[in-house]
Chains A and B, each alone.
Chain A
Amino acid sequence: MSADAHRAEIDRRVLEWIREPRWSYNEQRFEELALELFAFQFEHCEIYRRFCEGRNQTPAEVNAWRQIPAVPTSAFKEVELRSFPAHATTHCFRTSGTSSDVRGTLYLDTLELYEASLLPTFRRFMFPESLLPEDRALIRVLAPSQIEQPDSSLSHMFGVVLEAMGEPGSGFDVENGELLFDRVLTVLVESAASEVPITLCGTAFAFVHLIDHMARRGVLIGLPSASRIMETGGFKGRSREIPRAELYTELKRVLGIPSERIVNQYGMTELASQFYDSVIRGPSEPRRKLGPPWARVVIVDPETGHEAATGQVGSIVVVDLANTGSVLSLRTGDLGRAVLDGFEVIGREPGADTRGCSIGADEILGQSSL
């Protein structure tokens, strides 16, 4: 079988799973597809092959999806990881960053899996009460559109969501890099007055700007009870930084949306699939991140490289079958802990003291972008 035909066959099988209306977390199916995709990427992504060979973790040695070598997401800043010929590249998504940051790049030869994966996951965790594909909602996005930021996977995702699920009145509220506060407030006030629930999506820092703006204006809005928020990403350099619990308290105060209806999405440019807080699906259960059957998380003990013990904090490794064009197993820059059938992301303790007085270069790097 040629490389193209093999890849097409893998894509077909992954898409088939993604498009099934009922989700089934079938371990054997995941294992088989993951190992086959690993073998394919080992063969067709030379850098990944050498990386695996350097660790003596080749398809001959690896016989379980948890053993598939994971590349750090940060590596996308320096190396081109693609399992298809460079000339076949049709899209590039770049990680966010300030102008002085080196940005990572994900090269794609198709958006089909990315788009197919994101929609059912978004729908399942944001609108668990209405799973029908034809169901639509009023959605406003506090982020730029994919037209304004064509290399942003997040903008692309929101564009796909709006097209598939947004009812009239939905749209983006960041234009030319500016959050259009007046327009957002008008829509929010209308939603409150008409009692039409609204879904607000955006980056965490955009919500901080909205909260600050509303505080300056002295505006408080009580949105309809079925309204909800999806926030994602961090704050670094884009707004003041506040703990998530505080962000949620503030969002409840200014918009009337309780934390049970605020969902953090865990996703990244390098991943085709995303994970969402479980709160809307299971408000009485522990808040944890859940994902689709075709993407799994394993928490790895960074000291040993082996799977961490239950409850132990470790590195979050994602194995995403929808990443057929790049590398399926990614070691994220985040720490996490397994919680029931999902996981939680462990943030850095604010003000945590270090053992010494060395700046460790990371902070300097953050300041000067070496």
Chain B
Amino acid sequence: MTPDDIAEQLDGLRDAGKRLKRRPIGEVLAVLGGVLDRWSDPASSWRRDLEDRLPAATGFTAPMVGEGLRRALGGWTSDALRKLAIRELGPIDALDSASESRVSSFDTTAVLLAGAIPMPSLLALIAPLAVRSPVLAKPASRDPLTPQLVARSIAETDVELGRCIRIAEFPATNEDCTRALLEADCICAMGSDATIAAVSARVKPPRRFVADGHRVSIAAVATPETVDGRADLSERLALDIALWDQAGCLSPIAVFAVDAEPARVTALAEAIASALANAEKEWPRGAIDARTAHAIAQQRAEAELRRAAGRAVEIHVSDSTAWTVIVEDGPELRPAPLHRFVRVIPVPDLEQLLSAIEPLAAHLAAVAIEGFGDRTIGLAHALADRGASRVCAPGSLQSPPLDWRHGGRGVLAPLVRFTDIESTR
């Protein structure tokens, strides 16, 4: 694909977008809602196609992909999309009528996808269309499949809407193609901080730039209540860790055990280890490259040395690098190699918990909490103040609602221009 090809695609999308903008937004939302309903149906041909082909394309195992999609897409329905639109844009009927505000879409939206987890790609492609902006998407190198399937599903559902989504495949190192793509009117980019910074530097004003940087999640449990009284807690934590091989921004890298006696922390870690061992049987982790395996081995060896130095470090590992649970003896955060590597970190109280996660604040996505009783709301607000955009229960981290305001902002609202119409003479 050449820069001229991309410019041509953008021109084509602008033309297609003129027809799209003439359609009532409620109608467009209904079409896309139907698309989502089919994606959320495990028996649909698109879903089966994705489940069949994603493992080979991304390296995730088939059972993990099946479970991950089942849990993530279950709630992504037409109702959820309508609810999302109303929440962020206002009553649907009012959007196309003469009212005191106007929601306008951009003529084109370019989406630069990243990573191999399909749900962010699905939502990133649906969202601009939902506000009637045609989409030109650059697939992630790790997942060339999902954007193609999503585009096909939309075209099969509504031919005219299908003309409003195009895929631009070119290497990320191709500066000329990237420059051509960034001629779109609205740019959505996913990726690491470095990627976001690089794209941001190339976006020419006055284009809208919407960034979804990499994020991290954690869990925090009050151990006296949870370990003794909730046997399934460890299974739910292990599920959150195991799905998508802990590569997603909703995957917890650490479980903070608050107000815990050492024996309970040990029991919690052992239970998580056992649950991860079971998860490995049910939803095996995908193959990892040497660099990732090296990072896991390195972190395990470091923990062994801390333990050898007399620190209260506990190590629970699989024979391979499939899963790792390390109990630390201090609140400091340490590198997280991901791929089912979790640290259990005891902290004496909520104040220490909040202090410990302070360094994560700029990158915090979600926090799963449990066992805090009447302290729950206060804790959730404190976590929000420290950057979390989602607080939920363990076991539901990987099933975010469609209208979760990822990164603390909306899903649709950043993709439109609002006009407030004041009274005039």
Chain A positions within 8 Å of B, measured between CB atoms, are: 47-51, 54-55, 70-72, 74-75, 78-79, 301-305, 312-315, 331, 333, 335, 348, 351, 353-365, 368, 370
User: Whole-angstrom distance between the alpha carbons of A365 and B253 in the complex?
Assistant: 13
In the complex, B307 has a CB within 8 A of chain A: yes
CB distance from A62 to the nearest CB of B (A): 16
B305 with A79: CB separation less than 8 A: yes
Instruction: Spot the interface stretch: B159-167, B210-218, B232-240, B372-380.
Output: B210-218
User: Whole-angstrom distance between the alpha carbons of A370 and B291 in the complex?
Assistant: 22
User: Whole-angstrom distance between the alpha carbons of A156 and B297 in the complex?
Assistant: 32
B296 with A356: CB separation less than 8 A: no
Known: A302-B296, A361-B334. A355 touches B115 (CB 8 A): yes
Known: A359-B192, A361-B335. A71 touches B305 (CB 8 A): yes
- Give every chain A residue within 8 A of B336 (Cβ-Cβ): 358, 360-362
User: Whole-angstrom distance between the alpha carbons of A315 and B320 in the complex?
Assistant: 15
**A/B interface sample: 10 pairs, CB < 8 A:** A50-B307, A75-B306, A79-B305, A305-B297, A312-B290, A354-B192, A356-B247, A357-B249, A358-B247, A368-B359
- Give every chain B residue within 8 A of A358 (Cβ-Cβ): 214-217, 246-249, 251, 253, 336, 338
B363 with A364: CB separation less than 8 A: yes
CB distance from B319 to the nearest CB of A (A): 9
Q: A302-B296, A354-B214, A358-B251 are in contact. List 7 more A-B contacts (CB 8 A).
A: A74-B298, A78-B305, A302-B294, A303-B293, A356-B246, A356-B247, A358-B338
CB < 8 Å neighbour of B304 from A51, A303, A351, A362: A51
Chain B positions within 8 Å of A, measured between CB atoms, are: 58-60, 114-117, 120, 140-142, 172-173, 190-193, 195, 212-217, 244-249, 251, 253, 286, 288, 290-291, 293-298, 301-302, 304-309, 320-321, 332-338, 359-360, 362-363
User: Whole-angstrom distance between the alpha carbons of A356 and B60 in the complex?
Assistant: 11
A333 with B302: CB separation less than 8 A: no
CB distance from B269 to the nearest CB of A (A): 17
Closest chain B residue to A77, Cβ basis: B302
CB < 8 Å neighbour of A357 from B248, B305, B335: B248
Closest chain B residue to A80, Cβ basis: B309
Known: A78-B302, A315-B297, A331-B298. A357 touches B333 (CB 8 A): no
Closest chain B residue to A362, Cβ basis: B335
Known: A303-B293, A355-B115. A363 touches B214 (CB 8 A): yes
B246 with A315: CB separation less than 8 A: no
- Give every chain A residue within 8 A of B360 (Cβ-Cβ): 361, 364
User: Whole-angstrom distance between the alpha carbons of A49 and B304 in the complex?
Assistant: 11
B291 with A335: CB separation less than 8 A: yes
CB distance from B85 to the nearest CB of A (A): 24
Closest chain B residue to A54, Cβ basis: B304
CB distance from B187 to the nearest CB of A (A): 18
B192 with A356: CB separation less than 8 A: no
B309 with A78: CB separation less than 8 A: yes
- Give every chain A residue within 8 A of B140 (Cβ-Cβ): 353
- Give every chain B residue within 8 A of A315 (Cβ-Cβ): 290, 294, 297-298
User: Whole-angstrom distance between the alpha carbons of A37 and B385 in the complex?
Assistant: 54
- Give every chain A residue within 8 A of B117 (Cβ-Cβ): 355-357
User: Whole-angstrom distance between the alpha carbons of A363 and B216 in the complex?
Assistant: 11
A75 with B305: CB separation less than 8 A: yes
Closest chain B residue to A73, Cβ basis: B298
- Give every chain B residue within 8 A of A301 (Cβ-Cβ): 290, 293
User: Whole-angstrom distance between the alpha carbons of A359 and B173 in the complex?
Assistant: 21
B173 with A47: CB separation less than 8 A: no
B309 with A314: CB separation less than 8 A: no
User: Whole-angstrom distance between the alpha carbons of A49 and B290 in the complex?
Assistant: 28
Closest chain A residue to B287, Cβ basis: A303
A72 with B248: CB separation less than 8 A: no
- Give every chain B residue within 8 A of A360 (Cβ-Cβ): 214, 216, 253, 335-338
A335 with B294: CB separation less than 8 A: yes
CB distance from B408 to the nearest CB of A (A): 15
User: Whole-angstrom distance between the alpha carbons of A333 and B299 in the complex?
Assistant: 10
- Give every chain B residue within 8 A of A79 (Cβ-Cβ): 305-306, 308-309
User: Whole-angstrom distance between the alpha carbons of A364 and B305 in the complex?
Assistant: 23
B306 with A361: CB separation less than 8 A: no
B301 with A72: CB separation less than 8 A: yes
- Give every chain B residue within 8 A of A355 (Cβ-Cβ): 58-60, 115-117, 142, 245, 247, 286
CB distance from B300 to the nearest CB of A (A): 9
- Give every chain A residue within 8 A of B195 (Cβ-Cβ): 351
Closest chain A residue to B335, Cβ basis: A362
CB distance from B310 to the nearest CB of A (A): 8
B290 with A356: CB separation less than 8 A: no
- Give every chain B residue within 8 A of A363 (Cβ-Cβ): 192-193, 214
User: Whole-angstrom distance between the alpha carbons of A315 and B172 in the complex?
Assistant: 28
User: Whole-angstrom distance between the alpha carbons of A365 and B360 in the complex?
Assistant: 9
CB distance from A106 to the nearest CB of B (A): 15
B114 with A72: CB separation less than 8 A: no
B248 with A356: CB separation less than 8 A: yes
User: Whole-angstrom distance between the alpha carbons of A267 and B363 in the complex?
Assistant: 34
Closest chain B residue to A76, Cβ basis: B305
B115 with A356: CB separation less than 8 A: yes
- Give the most central of B173, B216, B295, B297: most A CB within 10 Å: B297
Known: A74-B302, A351-B173. A314 touches B335 (CB 8 A): no
- Give the most central of A48, A51, A75, A353: most B CB within 10 Å: A353
B115 with A353: CB separation less than 8 A: yes
CB < 8 Å neighbour of B298 from A48, A54, A72, A361: A72
B298 with A333: CB separation less than 8 A: yes
The list of the 9 closest CB pairs from A to B, nearest first, reads A356-B247, A50-B308, A302-B293, A361-B336, A359-B214, A51-B308, A302-B294, A302-B297, A357-B249
A48 with B308: CB separation less than 8 A: yes
- Give every chain B residue within 8 A of A364 (Cβ-Cβ): 216, 333, 359-360, 362-363
User: Whole-angstrom distance between the alpha carbons of A355 and B294 in the complex?
Assistant: 16
- Give every chain B residue within 8 A of A370 (Cβ-Cβ): 332-334, 359
CB < 8 Å neighbour of B215 from A72, A303, A359, A368: A359
User: Whole-angstrom distance between the alpha carbons of A50 and B311 in the complex?
Assistant: 12
- Give every chain B residue within 8 A of A348 (Cβ-Cβ): 291
